[in-house]
């Protein structure tokens, strides 16, 4: 199937919310990791989301120029071609973009998609994220209002992060403390600024103790039940039940019960990066250790071309990462729920 149209992406999110499941949103940094994500979704019979962070886009742009827009556009164009060979719907998304990178990343991409839409085409990406969690909430929402209007014109959904997620993600760092919990007042102020869909659809990355990075279960105190409090608080004031489409950030090391509670309370998208990075790299490391005398020209020997051929270890990496995507789809209950 081709990359999801705006209409299909909206249907995907509506189905997830109604069915209390979520889509794995897999960060990719290359054609290899993209193919691994697509393979995992196909094997899980799950539609899904593929996303590119600012750091991922810079890497994709090549280390000579490190141009984020070039990198993101190049992989998105590749994805539009290659995804047609996979029997699932895939949405393209850009991950965390802080204020100092908006002009070099999200704004140009929004403008590009707006021009495509004016020409009768679909947008290049289906959603973009504005990460204003380092700003005051007032400043965060002011920028979000501007971006939401531009996204609406381009038939794109905006993701907003209104309060901090702990840890570090592509240079955006927040301390792990009691501020990692969104309040009902934060949620109400968000609706007052962005509306309830009439100004454009948006996804909400609310904080319930989430932390980016690698943590063993129990090391991070998640309160996914807080999402129900946010929905209920806004519903009581504005009269719309379950108003938010929530995003789960920093989910590495989360328990199965924490994930299920988040799903029951309105999470439709869960970002997965750390775990898939490891899944991709682990078999490569194993191959290099097991075949060190082949991948290295030890003591003046010629090595083993079949051992150091990138396709040899690249296939192992793809298989391993795809398997981790399959696990994610099962955990998030999107497996078997693809649009027919």
Place of tokens 């299920």: 260
Could you give the residue numbers annotated as active site? 95
* Residue ranges of E strands in the chain: 23-27, 48-52, 90-94, 127-131, 157-161, 167-169, 172-174, 202-205, 246-248, 267-272
In the three-class reduction of DSSP (H, G, I as helix; E, B as strand; rest coil), residue 182 is classed as: coil
Q: How far apart are CA 237 and CA 184, in angstroms?
A: 11
Helix (H) or strand (E) holding 242: none
Buried b (16+ CB within 10 A) or exposed e, 248-271: bbbbbbbeeebbbbbbebbbbbbb
Contact 13, 339 (CB under 8 A): no
Helix (H) or strand (E) holding 171: none
Strand partners, 48: 90
Using CA atoms, how far residue 155 sits from 57, 130, 284, 294, in Å, is: 22, 16, 40, 51
Contact 146, 109 (CB under 8 A): no
């Amino acid at each position: 199937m081709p990359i999801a149209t705006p209409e299909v992406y909206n249907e995907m999110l509506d189905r997830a919310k109604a069915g209390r499941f979520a889509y794995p949103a897999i960060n990719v940094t290359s054609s290899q990791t993209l193919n691994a994500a697509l393979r995992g979704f196909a094997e899980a019979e799950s539609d899904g989301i593929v996303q590119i962070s600012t750091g991922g886009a810079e890497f994709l742009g090549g280390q000579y120029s490190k141009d984020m827009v070039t990198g993101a556009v190049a992989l998105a164009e590749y994805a539009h071609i290659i995804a047609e060979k996979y029997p699932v719907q895939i949405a393209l998304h850009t991950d965390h973009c802080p204020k100092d990178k908006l002009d070099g990343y999200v704004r140009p991409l929004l403008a590009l998609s707006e021009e495509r839409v004016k020409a009768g085409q679909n947008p290049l990406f289906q959603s973009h994220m504005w990460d204003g969690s380092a700003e005051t909430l007032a400043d965060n929402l002011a920028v979000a209002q501007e971006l939401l209007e531009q996204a609406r014109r381009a038939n794109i959904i905006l993701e907003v992060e209104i309060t901090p997620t702990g840890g570090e993600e592509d240079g955006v760092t927040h301390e792990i403390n009691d501020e990692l919990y969104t309040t009902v007042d934060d949620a109400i102020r968000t609706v007052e600024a962005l509306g309830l869909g009439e100004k454009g659809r948006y996804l909400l990355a609310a904080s319930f103790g989430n932390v980016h990075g690698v943590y063993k279960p129990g090391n991070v105190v998640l309160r996914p039940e807080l999402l129900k409090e946010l929905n209920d608080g806004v519903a009581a004031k504005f009269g719309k039940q379950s108003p938010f489409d929530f995003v789960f950030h920093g989910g590495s090391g989360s328990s199965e019960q924490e994930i299920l509670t988040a799903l029951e309370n309105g999470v439709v998208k869960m970002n997965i990066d750390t775990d898939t990075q490891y899944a991709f790299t682990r078999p490569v490391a194993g191959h290099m250790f097991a075949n060190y005398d082949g991948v290295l020209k030890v003591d003046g020997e010629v090595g083993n071309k079949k051992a150091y051929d990138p396709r040899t270890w690249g296939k192992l990496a793809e298989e391993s990462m795809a398997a981790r995507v399959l696990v994610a789809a099962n955990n998030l209950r999107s497996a078997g729920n693809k649009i027919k």
